[in-house]
Structure 1
Amino acid sequence: MATSLQEKAMCPVCLDFFSNPISLSCAHVFCFDCMQTWVSKREDSKLTCPLCRESSEKPPLEEWQIRTLTLLIKQHGPLLELSLHVRSELQRFREDMTLDAATANSLLVVSDDGRSVRCAKTHYDTMEDPRRFTHLAGVLGTPCFSSGRHYWEVEVGEVKEWSLGVCKESVDRNRKSDLSSKDGFWTISMKAGAIHANSIPESRIPASPGLQRVGIFLDVEMEEIKFFDVGNDALIYAYCPLSSLERFCPFFLLVLPGERDSGAALRIYP
């Protein structure tokens, strides 16, 4: 019952309670601000639904029924407290993900179960493979995605410096640096105790001292990826739009062995 009410009162774009909800002619409902942002990022002037891509033939109408339902749920929130977290809503999109060892830099050690990766002190005798990252201490996750909504969580634990997110399937595996969106990487990075969004220009975001697990939500149709601080149930950063004719691959990166390396591992949760 709580889940059903929650879904009826939440915008499919921002995954939060409706704010000034509007209905398109296709009957899909969104927050007014979410639709305004969506329209402003489109190259054409048509009012197109973010979900089904149907063009609306009439102006959106305010959904007073949804507004009323949203208000009631907010008023009785304590009764549904366990069901009203954004992260709980994202669980239905959770992926059973593993690391693709064939793409891992030769200084990375992927666990036998394919769920964790750490840096080694010496190079492993690995076979040459064009899929492998040769300079960056990176590895891809599997599966990769060309449509739909997908969610996964990564335990960063004691790893001092890392990058997480997605990249185009065709990114240059021989590159040495520049994990920017123009090069096909949409990631956040932990550097010197602060989080950096590898956007253009780069953004610096204060990191919670207790950050232990990062939630990553990819919505291919909405052309966005969001990063969450799972422990604090808080949004860290969002990229929108991200667009590619290729598949998006989960991306994991550690710092190569050195003074800053603790031997700690990144782990896909659970």
Structure 2
Amino acid sequence: MGEISSSQEYQSFRSTISLKKVVVDDDNSKEWTMYDAGPKTVKCPLVCFPPASGTADVFFKQILGLTSAGYRVIAVEYPVYWTMKEFCEGFRKLLDHLQLDRVHVFGTSLGGFLAQKFAEFTSRSPRVASLILCNSFNDTSIFQQTNSAPTFWMMPALFLKKMVMGNFDKGLVDPDIADSIDFMVERLDNLSQQELASRLTMNCMNCYVEPQKLRDIDVTIMDVFDDCALSGTVRDEMYKCYPEARRAHLKSGGNFPYLSRCVDVNVFLQVHLRRYDLGPQQAREIPEDELALLTS
């Protein structure tokens, strides 16, 4: 068990916040897994989408940090969906089940791409109030796997896991980033072949975001300037896609800054969310020196 998994903070999270499983599709095998914490009176909460290798608990630091400030945070883990349309219809049904008309979405890597596609899917009847996109992308062609994607369903789990781990940091990294990688490797090991294959299929199938459908959505782009799986070119493409977006820059943090730099990430999330009505409880005021972290 890694440093994060064995930490008192993580153990406290697991013992105090219940894991829920919800079926919203006709297929009973398609279970959404989620943690829903914070005041239920908040009807436009923050929903967190994990990367291909992640599970709902990768956002435990956001759940603990933001709910203590009065926010409602829902971290989800998607069932086995093989197409973008299937995912978007499933998530819309989940929101209907939770009686949520609109949500803010914090999406990381694949989670950020899915968040953009869902906002696009519901653009005529908007369900996304705003987007925070962390180390994300807007075109799957960057992975150069579009021809292989249709075959992922039959590839062994070990091969798929090696594919994912090939994008993790390999060099010398600071202890917090190293711990975040260890934690994500543990989460990856918990995914079944079907779960991982379906996520990688959506990650690599030929698909891109149509930004003209998202021009009315408030966007913050969060990224790191040290080594991560996505190149500077991909980051620049995101900036071009969302020229009006606010930018939240982290000097370092690797692929998983929500774990390795959780304090900074939580500040950025609050900076983004505090422009909205949070319901009966308001988040704490953020000091000017923390606000200076955000580059607009």
TM-score with structure 1 setting the length: 0.22
**Higher strand proportion (structure 1 or 2):** 1
Larger Rg: 1
**Higher helix proportion (structure 1 or 2):** 2
